[in-house]
Structure 1
Amino acid sequence: MTQLTNNKRPIIYLAATGHGFGHAVRISTVADAILKLCPDSLIIMVTTAPRWLLESYIAGDFIYRPLAFDVGVIQSDSFTMDKVATLKKIQELYKKREWLMAGEINFLKTNKVDLILADIPPLMAPIAKLAGIPCWMMGNFGWDFIYQAWGEEWQEVVNWIRDCYQQCDRLFRFPMAEPMNTFNSITDVGLTGGNHRYKIDDLRNNFNINAPPEKTILLTFGGLGLQEIPYANLAQFSDWQFITFDSNAPELDNIIKISNSIYRPVDFMPLCSRVISKPGFSTFAETMRLDIPIISLVRNDFAETPFLLEGITNYAEHQIVETDSFFQGSWDFLKQDTNPPKIGKILAKDGAEVIAKAILDRCFSEPK
């Protein structure tokens, strides 16, 4: 635990892309690690992700500032992207950027913020530079990389984002990342993720989970979920149990629906032999930190996907399932063995702690 010196209280501003849950989850794990190392730190969480999600990962107090400084991708579910609406929203953000920046620069100066950590809104870097404070970022991709793959009409947006990212002072690059060469200073770190908080026996008793682990499956598709999951396929697995956070799932004997927001997918992962997911860093990372096999769908037209799928192929027990096999097939993949990792389960699992320590070291090395 870090002790305060000269009555210095670190004031740390953490900003995350608000679409979906993944960016907010992993930056929340860093916030939690900061508070564990230095409980007197003042944490300011800046994201449109819901407060209950942040609270489920951060075991301590924080200031919640529900603002958006980027767009991400506008989606109706984890697979369905609206590129036209996304581009329009980014262009609107660009037009009002000076107004957004002015308000937040004033907030940063008024509250004497020591450092910004962003995952990974581009605008935070020029905001920090004008406010005269360091801006560090973290991630496995930049939005310039995602948008670049969508065609020439995105080029102006891509160029603007790259100009922002080049003003970032330091990037913490996760495993399963694109090169992220836009950034000038890169530090590679390990996986981030929450730790499960409940005893396995208590969860089994509270939710009547009676199937053995080899027949217990977690279905989790991120904060945006999936439409039209073929739950009818579960009928052929009557002696299995499937855990889901999907409130729209049907009432079936072998489906266990988790609706209380105090629980997270990572809390139920240790009960399961496999996790079925769409490609997503946070879910993959939490599953890999627990050495649980991953069954992943393929997500086309999103440039991050090949890096994530390559990651689980190299470093996790895995199966990769084509979308047709998932949505129109009979789920025979559940009757097959998972594939071993090509390289091995060798990724470091302390990404959040490494980033948190670096932030505190920086805060305490600078005069208040």
Structure 2
Amino acid sequence: MPHLFIALTAHGYGHLAQCAPVVAALQRRRPDLRVTLQGTIDPAFARSRMPAGFRHLSVAADCVLPMDGPLQARWHEGLALYTAFEADYDRHWAAQRARFEQDRPDLVLANIPWLPLDLARAMDIPALALCSLNWYDILAQSPVGAALPAAVAERMRAAYASAATFLRPSPSMPMAWLPNGQDIGPIAVRRRRDPAGLRTRLGLDPDEQPVLMQFGGAGRLTPGSLDELPPRVRLLSPDTGLAARHPRIRLIDAAEVPDALASCAAIITKPGYGTFAEAACHGVPVLYVPRGDWPEEPWLVDWLSTRVPSAALSAAEFAAGAIGERLAELLAAGPAAPLAATGVDEAMERIEVLLASC
């Protein structure tokens, strides 16, 4: 029974969102596959996205870049964490090695902790990286990039380059320095687009336009007055605090978000891989609040702009509730042709090649 060991960075939801559809497709092809998921991601969220039967190790394989809400990284604090992780690398290495020795993987898949890749190379375990970014490029291109210690940079670069392949799902940062990089299509879970069914399930009127508002797993953004919303728009949010404060916001369960995204009239969000890829693969227009100094953002925004109607709204405008005009323009543009999520099968096939001998 082959053992796939997935190491995740618990920075928001996007890292699991990239891996889970691939694992689901792989388990349909290889029902004997045994899966371990390592990362301090919320267990309920992991269960909602991953196929049943996986083992969850709720322990970090790297450090997590701290955030002030969904838009702003605490760069200097983060740099100190990465520097401290490198200073204590031998202890982290020993702990990870003990996990691998206790239940040796047949394949390691990292999205995108670097230590498991480094250790897999030393233990002669096949390994893949799968992500639209890597922590070396994020830190090097961030406001603290000039202060990135050489030891941290060199360790990350060597580990990422040691993987058999670094799969870069579209849209990705270029990561052109990687000798093992392979571009693949977008990764998303395709769901049936059924706006009428969504309105019925939520008890909305037939002429109401449901607009999903969600900002991922790193906190909330709070809009001001929603008096300028276009008529007949109903915002959907899994945030109980927001729904309680605004009558134009309809509370939905977190488990309903994927289906709501597939069938809504538009999405209000931040630039992030999971939501942008899901939006493009369902043809849903996107109104986004830029993150500003997030190095991955230009690649996400440029890619999305050629796939679905999209527009930016500053954080100040969002906080003031000045959403109406741009949202109305996106609703008038309507949905685009859905994009095929070809990266799921492409990633699955690369993993299968490495598992073929197991």
Using structure 1 for the length normalisation, give the TM-score: 0.87
Residue of 143, 158, 163 corresponding to 1:163:
158
Question: Counterpart of 1:333?
Answer: 326
Runs of 4+ in structure 1 deviating by more than 3 angstroms, as ranges, are 195-206, 234-238, 337-341, 344-348
Letter in 1 for 2:211: I
Does the 8 A contact of 1:30 with 1:355 survive in 2? yes
* Secondary structure of the corresponding residue to residue 315 of structure 1: coil
Pair 1:188-2:180 in alignment: no
Tell me if the contact between 1:171 and 1:187 (Cα under 8 Å) persists in the aligned partners: yes
Q: Secondary structure at the match of 1:336?
A: helix
Tell me, in whole angstroms, the C-alpha distance in 2 between the residues paired with 1:39 and 1:210.
43
Judged with a 3 Å threshold, the aligned counterparts in structure 2 of structure 1 residues 177 and 338 are, in CA distance, closer, same or farther, namely: farther
Aligned pairs for 1:269-308 (under 5 A) are 269-308=261-300
Is the partner of 1:218 in helix, strand or coil? strand
Secondary structure of the residue aligned to 2:49 is coil
Query: 1:122 maps to which residue?
Result: 114
In the alignment, is the contact (CA less than 8 A) between 1:211 and 1:240 conserved in 2?
no
Moved more, 281-290 or 174-183: 174-183
Find the counterpart in structure 1 of residue 3 from structure 2.
Answer: 11
Matches for 1:189-268 after TM superposition, within 5 Å: 189-196=184-191, 203-210=198-205, 212=207, 215-230=209-224, 232-234=225-227, 236-237=229-230, 239-251=232-244, 252-259=246-253, 261-263=254-256, 265-268=257-260
Offset at 1:200?
Answer: 6.0
Q: Is residue 140–residue 175 contact of structure 1 (8 Å, CA) maintained in 2?
A: yes
Q: Deviations over 1:176-218 (max 9, x none)?
A: 22211232212211111234489766643443222536x2211
Deviation string for 1:32-91 (max 9, x for gaps)? 222122121001111111111121112321000112122242013111221222122212
The answer to whether the Cα contact below 8 Å between 2:282 and 2:337 also exists between their aligned partners in 1 is: no
In the alignment, structure 1 residue 310 sits paired with structure 2 residue 302: yes
Q: Which amino acid aligns with 1:188?
A: D
More divergent stretch after superposition (146-155 vs 18-27): 146-155
Counting aligned pairs with the same residue, the percent is 21
Match of 1:4 in 2: none
Unmatched 5+ residue regions in structure 2?
A: none
Give the Cα–Cα distance (whole angstroms) in 1 for the partners of residues 5 and 67 of structure 2: 27
Distance 1:241 1:91, change over 3 A: same
> In structure 2, how many angstroms separate the alpha carbons of the residues matched to 1:316 and 1:227?
23
- Conserved 8 A contact 1:74-1:82: yes
Structure-2 residue corresponding to 1:143: 135
Q: How far apart in 1 are the matches of 2:252 and 2:95?
A: 39
Deviation of residue 272 (structure 1)?
1.3
Stretches of structure 1 lacking an aligned partner (at least 5 in a row) = 1-8
Deviation at residue 234 of structure 1 after TM alignment: 4.8
What is the Cα deviation at residue 124 of structure 1?
1.9
In the TM superposition, what is the alpha-carbon distance from 1:327 to its structure 2 partner? Answer: 2.4
Partners of 2:176 and 2:162 lie apart in 1 by: 13
Rounded to whole Å, the distance in 2 between the matches of 1:244 and 1:42 is 35
Contact 1:318 1:338 in 2 (8 A): no
Change (3 A) 1:161 1:112: closer
CA RMSD in angstroms comes to 2.5
**Is the partner of 1:137 in helix, strand or coil?**
strand
For residue 56 of structure 1, what is the amino acid of its counterpart? Answer: S
Structure 1 36/12 Cα, relative in aligned 2: closer, same or farther at 3 Å? same
Return the TM-score normalized by structure 2.
0.90
Q: Quote the Cα distance in structure 2 between the aligned partners of 1:132 and 1:114.
A: 10
Q: CA deviation at 1:328?
A: 2.9
Amino acid at match of 2:100: L
Distance in 2 separating the partners of 1:244 and 1:16: 26
**Are the aligned partners of 1:170 and 1:185 in contact in 2 as well (CA < 8 Å)?**
yes
Do 1:195 and 1:267's aligned partners in 2 also have CA atoms closer than 8 Å?
no
